Amino acid sequence: MKFRFLSFDELAEIVESEPIDAESFALKREAFISGKTEAGIEAELDRRIAVTRKALIRGLGEPQRSRSGLTDGAAVKLAAFPSPLVRDGLFARALRYSLAINEVNACGGKVVSFPTAGSSGIVPGSIWAWWDSRASRASRTPSADPDASDVPAALDPPYDPLLRGAFLNASLAGILIAQGATLAGSEGGCQAECGAAGAMAAAALGYLQGLPLRGRFDAAALSLKNSLGLVCDPVAGLVEVPCVKRNAFVAANALVAVELAMAGIRSAVPFDEVVSAMKSIGDSLPSSLRESAEGGLAMTPTGLACKRRLEES
């Protein structure tokens, strides 16, 4: 089996010609590259999935407050808000889950980079939101509140193959972005971090919703298109503002992209070309907008005042 691919078209050709599903291909590819058994790869995947679940539970179990004061329990506040505008259970969970996981990162907790620490809430937050919303619908009566904001329960490995498949599909989108552009904010701005994570989340959610491979990557393209040009301008050089809240916004982006793809709405520009455009845009961004904290929000009066306060403390 061929494991090298440099574009989505090459990936689709391999998967369709074998034939093999995308998640099984991703598993076999990782085993081939690492020299480990598929069982060993599954065990490592489960270990990392477990880390994301623990981060989620921590982030919603108590307000996460960073030493800088820039992270202040937004996920818990959102969960406790009594009159939400967003009432759909999946959508609401995706917002607070992505916030919760990334707040744990901002407070020094253990997370898994998806694809970076600053975007670590988007992929697992979206996947766990789908998973817990499905469980909620299955266990509740039609009249029960589907937007329950209680802290999700712990789930131990081994995990359901469907759940593993979601993370594996996300990884394929991440591989293509890494190969065709970059996953580093210092190279491409935040479109390369949160934007890439949104595309990865869209591919994962598309898989969970039963979209074929090309439909999943239409969703990934739609999501990524709407993060093009997103700059990386961390206030005081910390991965907190605007990073943490941006995780929630981009998770919403991924959900909208999948909804469009499910309705048969395709990306007018193919995924590979969107990635190419992302690289071109990233290359043209000034260094001040590529994680240097020398532009954008970092240079506003409030951003500079925050930096001075932290330097003096």
Q: Is the pLDDT of residue 146 over 90?
A: no
**Cβ-contact 68, 310 below 8 angstroms:** yes
Domain ranges of the chain: 8-312
- How confident is residue 132, by pLDDT bands cut at 50, 70 and 90? very high
**Cβ-contact 49, 164 below 8 angstroms:** yes
Query: Phi and psi for 28 in degrees, rounded to 5?
Result: -65, -40
**What is the rounded average pLDDT of the residues 187-200?**
98
Q: How far apart are CA 285 and CA 113, in angstroms?
A: 24
Q: Is the pLDDT of residue 198 over 90?
A: yes
What's the predicted TM-score (pTM) here? 0.96
Q: Is the pLDDT of residue 31 over 60?
A: yes
Each residue of 278-306: pLDDT tens digit?
999 999 999 999 999 999 999 999 999 99
> 1.10.4100, 3.30.70, 1.10.3470, 1.20.120: which CATH number matches 8-312?
1.10.4100
* Chain mean pLDDT for the chain: 95
Q: Other CB atoms closer than 10 Å to residue 143's CB: what's the count? A: 6
Taking the alpha carbons of 247, 251, 256, 258 in that order, is the dihedral positive or negative?
Answer: positive
> Would you state the pLDDT for residue 138?
77
Please tell me the least confidently modeled range out of 11-25, 128-142, 168-182, 190-204. 128-142
Query: Phi and psi for 197 in degrees, rounded to 5?
Result: -60, -35
User: Any idea what DSSP says for residue 157?
Assistant: S
**What is the rounded average pLDDT of the residues 128-142?**
81
Structure tokens at 287: 């260094």
Q: Is the pLDDT of residue 145 over 60?
A: no
Percent of the chain with pLDDT over 70: 96
**Cβ-contact 206, 219 below 8 angstroms:** yes
User: Any idea what DSSP says for residue 292?
Assistant: S
Q: Is the pLDDT of residue 141 over 80?
A: no
Q: Is the pLDDT of residue 142 over 50?
A: no
Q: Is the pLDDT of residue 160 over 90?
A: yes
> Would you state the pLDDT for residue 143?
41
Q: Is the pLDDT of residue 147 over 60?
A: no
Each residue of 241-260: pLDDT tens digit?
999 999 999 999 999 999 99
> Would you state the pLDDT for residue 136?
80
> Which residue matches tokens 């995308």?
22
